[in-house]
Structure formats: structure tokens, C-alpha cells
Chain A
């Protein structure tokens, strides 16, 4: 909860994160429901995507800069 406090305290960050997730989902062809936020600051956030499936789920990780929404891949945590 501490990691995601900015989502509740800062509406600007909240809108930027929402936009970033929507853009990422659209540009990567992923469903929004698979995203979970691992870390969040004013400058960037790290999000993990789990492609839910029967059996093993595929995992992806993205580092996204705010407010530019520049996106890079990162290593998936265990």
C-alpha cells in the first residue's frame, strides 16, 4: 500500500499512471486486468503484467517514465 500511496494522494500521478497503462495495453496488445504496480515515484513507475492463462502465466515487466510515458522492459521478479 505504501508503494501505491501516490495513486490515492496525487490525482495528477493517478491520471498519468492510468494513461500509461492504457497506452501500454494498447501498444503491447495486452489486457489491462493483468497489470500490477511494483513501484511508483513522481518520476517513474514499474509495472508487471501477468497474462492469465490456464497453467503457467506469461509475465512481463515495464519501466515507464512519467510524464513522458517512455517505456522500457525490465526483468520480471520471481
Chain B
């Protein structure tokens, strides 16, 4: 009964985190997964999500689902330290729930939190008897969820090693999915092309800048204290698989420079504390200050209404009788494809005949505007007069 009550309270927390993220509308990266757009990641999860992309509540459902997975994963953390005194278990559970990784990423429709959860599952499986086939299948699923799963190859290795199988078998279970992933990548050249584009992003950024940015995300991922204790525990316990994955994640973040990768540190921090539980010093003060950091992150990340241009424009257009194509002048992301019930194309004079509305994200181009009327400014939206009634 008590466990049920705690699960219920955790679920309320998960829903709250999901609703905080929903206020920002669907971001371009999130739309890629909701619509099964075939880059940058493999299809295991995005294909499933897209099976119900016509459902009005798809976004809300997926946010709550992902937030539930992140928050209820605390039960895995709880189980991983079952040999510790209850108070220590509570300490680690609270550190998880108030970590920056959970607060800032639970409820986002991104693959990074799922990869972090998959790493946590590998760490949990390594503590118990699991069949190598199960681990191998889960490794395959992880790789086909997101490429960054490869950062946790050391964890999958140790997970298999602890099942007592030979190195050859370990090599097969780990290598075969990687080969399949490579074949999938070759068949989808948009993916390696986007990797090349993203690898050249921020080339001007210096090494000190990259290190500072990585350090910042390291601190945020565990709301400072779990970051410190978890890293200390990793190195003090000399767990090579944790240290190796830690450096791989650091390198990945230093090169890619996306804030949402902070969550990738989280399972490693938990494992570091699990490996050396005594690293948590002054637990009551630690939890208090962790909660403060967590709340500060929430307030700074979610303060005030965030511009949701695509959603607001589509909402305005939905109040009219508009039909036809929506033309967009200026660079636009996949969130427009997600939010719009109308076909979306870049503005071209030749497409005006089939257009029902024009959105100008930059200065509006010139065209014959007789029969058109401005619906709103900022951004400027033009609609054919006949749809305005």
C-alpha cells in the first residue's frame, strides 16, 4: 500500500514535469521523433511514436510517458542499493528525483533521456542474473533508439561479462548490433550527412570553452551534489567501465554542445554512488541543497511564458476557414510540420496559387496582395480574404 502511494505521488511529479515542458510547445527536435522523420537517430522509438501521430493527444501522452519513465526509474535506483540502510536509499532516490537531468529532461520528447534510462537498466541488470540474450536484445534496442547508446558500450560489456560468458560470445552480442546499426546508417545517407553537418557546428569554439560547457552540464546533470559524489565514487571505486563511459560522455558533450546531453551523466553518477555509498557526506544538508539547486533549475528553465510561434500561428489560422498550403518565408523547423494541419512549404511565388496563408518569419517578400489580408503581426501572417469570412 505504501509503495502504491509513493508511486502515485511520483506520478504526480512526473505529470507536473511533463506539463512544464508542454508549455514550451513542440520543439523542432521533438517533432522529428513524433513524426518519425528519419534522422538523426535510428527508428526503434520514433517509429512507435509515429503510429499514433494523428491522435490529438499524442504530444501530451508521450511527454507524460517519458516523464513517467524518468521519474519512476527511481525504483531501479532504489533496488540497486537495496543492501544499504534505508536512509541511504532515500538519499540516493531524492538525489535522482531532484537532479538537473530529471528536472530538465523528464517530459521532453528526446532520445537522450531514454539513452540515460537504458544505461541505468544495464547497470541494474549487471547486479542480477540476466540471460545474455536479454542483454544483447536490449543492447540492440538501445542502439536503435539513439546512436549515443554507444557511449555506454563499457556498461553493456560488463553486464554481459558478469553473466559468465566467454569473450567471444560477448563480442558477438555487442558487435552484431553495432554492425546492424552501421548497415542501417549506410542505407540512410541523410543520417551520416547530418552527422557531418552537426560535427562542423561551433567549430570556432575553443577548447577551454568546450571544457567549461562540459563542466557546466556535468554540474547540472546531478544538481551539483550527485555530480560531485557520483564522480568521486566512480574514480574512488576504480570501476573502469564507469570511468570510460564518463570520459566518452564528456567527449561527446564537448564536441556536440547540446545542453540536453547533461542527462547522460545521470546513470553514471548513480553507479558511482552505488559503488562507493560513503561518498554521500552530510546527507541532510546535501538533500536540502540539492532540492534548492533543483528548484533553481526549474525556475530558471521554465520562468515565464516561452514563445511558441508555430503553435500560436496555427491556432490563429484555425480560427479562420483557411484551406490550402501554408507557405513560410524564412528558416523554419519541423515543429511547423507537427503543429500544422495544412501542408507546409517554403515560400515560393509559384506556390501562391495553392496557398491559403503566408507566414513571414523574416521580412515578407513582395507579391500581389490583392485578395489577401493581414491576420496578425509578429510574426506577420497573411491569409486569403475569402477564408476570413
Contact = CB atoms under 8 A, between A and B. Distances in A.
Given A1-B183, A37-B189, A54-B338, A29 B346 contact: yes
B70 to A, nearest CB: 25
B348 A54 contact: no
A1 B341 contact: no
Report whether over half of chain A's contact residues are helix, strand or loop; otherwise say mixed. mixed
B37 A33 contact: yes
B175 interface: no
Contact of A1 (B187, B193, B343): B187
B186 A30 contact: no
A7 interface: yes
A30 to B, nearest CB: 6
Interface in B169-221: 183, 186-190, 193
A52 B344 CA distance: 9
B81 to A, nearest CB: 43
Contacts of A35: 190
B348 A29 contact: yes
Given A8-B186, A54-B341, A30 B346 contact: yes
Interface residues of B, number: 29
A31 B37 CA distance: 11
Contacts of A69: none
Interface string A21-40: 00000111111111111000
Given A1-B183, A53-B337, A54-B341, A29 B347 contact: yes
Nearest to A51: B343
A7 B193 CA distance: 11
Contacts of A27: 348
B262 interface: no
Interface string B30-60: 0010011111000000000000011000100
A31 B337 contact: yes
Contacts, number: 61
B351 interface: yes
A54 B53 contact: yes
Given A1-B183, A1-B186, A36-B38, A52 B346 contact: no
B334 interface: yes
A4 interface: yes
Given A33-B37, A36-B38, A54-B341, A4 B189 contact: yes
A29 B39 contact: no
Interface string B330-352: 00001001101101111110010
A53 B35 contact: yes
Nearest to A35: B190
Interface in A36-62: 36-37, 51-55, 58
A51 B38 contact: no
Given A1-B187, A54-B54, A30 B345 contact: yes
Contacts of B35: 52-54
Interface string B242-260: 0000000000000000000
Contacts of B193: 18
Contacts of A51: 337, 343-345
B106 interface: no
B140 interface: no
A8 to B, nearest CB: 7
Contacts of A7: 189
Nearest to B58: A54
B156 interface: no
B109 interface: no
Interface string B137-153: 00000000000000000
A37 B38 CA distance: 13
Nearest to A3: B187
5 contacts: A8-B189, A28-B348, A52-B35, A54-B58, A58-B343
Given A29-B345, A31-B337, A54-B54, 16 more contacts: A4-B186, A8-B186, A18-B193, A29-B346, A29-B348, A29-B351, A30-B346, A31-B334, A35-B190, A36-B188, A51-B344, A52-B334, A53-B337, A53-B340, A53-B344, A54-B35
Interface of B: 32, 35-39, 53-54, 58, 183, 186-190, 193, 327, 334, 337-338, 340-341, 343-348, 351
